[in-house]
Amino acid sequence: EVQLVESGGGLVQPGGSLRLSCAASGFTFSRYVINWVRQAPGKGLEWVSGISNSVGSTYYADSVKGRFTISRDNSKNTLYLQMTSLRAEDTAVYYCAKAYSGYENNWFDSWGQGTLVTVSS
């Protein structure tokens, strides 16, 4: 059974940093594109970032480009999202989501339960 478990969320001040993790199990982690998708309170889903399998190509939404860095450690079956220069509008539940295969024209067949990031003073 595929499992994705996010951690690392919490309260951070504007301008601060936070690193999210997503521990994966139940599938061959290194073979798949994994993404971060967020959902602000009471709002819809927003794709944030994605990273390809072994090659490690990265993709970012314009709203986070230059501030967030996605990475993965295939030896630990773990995905990361390093978030810096955080803003109030980054407040959201962050989900990691496994893509069925590649990055382009693909869908998310498994999702974690999410971790809440709150940016506030």
Partner 1 sequence: QSVLTQPPSVSGAPGQRVTISCTGSTSNIGAGYDVHWYQQLPGTAPKLLIYGNSNRPSGVPDRFSGSTSGTSASLAITGLQAEDEADYYCQSYDSSLSGSKVVFGGGTKVTVL
Task: List contacts with partner 1 (CB under 8 A).
Answer: 35, 37, 44-47, 50, 59, 61-62, 95, 97, 100, 104-114
Local structure of 90: helix, strand or coil: helix
Q: 14, 119 in Cβ contact below 8 A?
A: yes
Q: How far apart are CA 112 and CA 109, in angstroms?
A: 11
Q: What is the smallest separation between the CB atom of 75 and partner 1, expressed in angstroms?
A: 26
- Nearest to partner 1 of 56, 102 (CB atom): 102
Largest CA distance in the chain: 40
Minimum distance from residue 60 beta carbon to partner 1 (Å): 8
Shortest distance in whole angstroms from residue 111 CB to partner 1: 4
Q: Which residue lies nearer to partner 1 by CB, 35 or 78?
A: 35
Joined together, the tokens standing for residue 110 give 């498994």
